[in-house]
């Protein structure tokens, strides 16, 4: 994994993930958020069209500008990156975890990074989730049918649509019997409640 991340211009760092990071599943919902949730896109019109010349360069530049403006980067350009930890079962529950990384001087997330499969499906088709070390600034890179974008929704605990979705998950887990809920659902709810407690 460290070698693949290095190809994207990211250095995998040792150490534990700081307390206060949101669940990766919640960050994966940024693309469903609206402006009233506090959503901000890298481009005024929403995305860079996949037919745009220089798509990779423009998408990289848009991500960096959005991340820098909203405070993704910590000391030495460190942040959290969601990385896979196993095969996706296809049941809709996350099989990734946060890892601490540093953005190097030379980087290419949307091109070489997406090509590795860790930050997308292929060059120019990004799919990634990131967060500031303090848990306040999540960023999602995603590919739509006709283009790509980067999205930020700061302070997820204030985003109405995210909170509504997660409240339903909490209610489902708390009201279901053991047979109806698996360990990943319980872990998601536990992570969300810890996240809310940390930022309350």
Residues 141-176 pLDDT 10s? 999 888 899 999 999 999 999 999 999 999 989 887
CA atoms within 13 A on the CB side of 152: 22
Q: Determine the pLDDT at residue 46.
A: 65
Rounded to whole angstroms, the Cα distance separating 125 from 131 reads 20
CA distance 150 to 137: 13
Could you identify the residue written with the tokens 């919902």? 29
Residues 48 and 57: their CA atoms lie apart, in Å, by 10
Overall average pLDDT of the 110-124 stretch: 94
- Report yes or no: 81 and 130 within 8 Å, Cβ to Cβ: yes
First to last CA, the chain: 34
Indicate the pTM of the whole model.
Answer: 0.91
Sequence length of the chain is 200
Going by the DSSP 8-state scheme, the letter that residue 9 receives in this structure is T
Residue 86 binned pLDDT confidence (cut-offs 50, 70, 90): low
């Amino acid at each position: 994994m460290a070698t693949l991340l290095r190809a994207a211009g990211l250095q995998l760092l040792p150490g534990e993930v700081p307390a206060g990071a949101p669940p990766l599943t919640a960050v994966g919902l940024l693309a469903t958020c609206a402006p009233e949730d506090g959503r901000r896109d890298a481009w005024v019109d929403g995305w860079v069209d996949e037919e745009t010349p220089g798509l990779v360069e423009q998408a990289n530049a848009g991500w960096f500008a959005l991340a820098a403006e909203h405070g993704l980067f910590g000391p030495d350009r460190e942040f959290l990156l969601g990385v896979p930890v196993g095969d996706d079962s296809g049941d809709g529950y996350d099989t990734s975890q946060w890892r601490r990384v540093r953005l190097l001087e030379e980087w290419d997330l949307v091109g070489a990074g997406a090509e590795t499969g860790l930050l997308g499906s292929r060059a120019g088709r990004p799919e990634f989730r990131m967060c500031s070390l303090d848990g306040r600034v999540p960023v999602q890179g995603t590919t739509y049918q006709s283009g790509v974008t980067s999205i930020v929704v700061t302070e997820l605990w204030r985003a109405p649509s995210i909170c509504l979705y997660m409240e339903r998950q909490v209610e489902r887990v708390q009201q279901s019997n053991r047979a109806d809920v698996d360990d990943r659902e319980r872990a998601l709810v536990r992570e969300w409640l810890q996240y809310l407690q940390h930022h309350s």
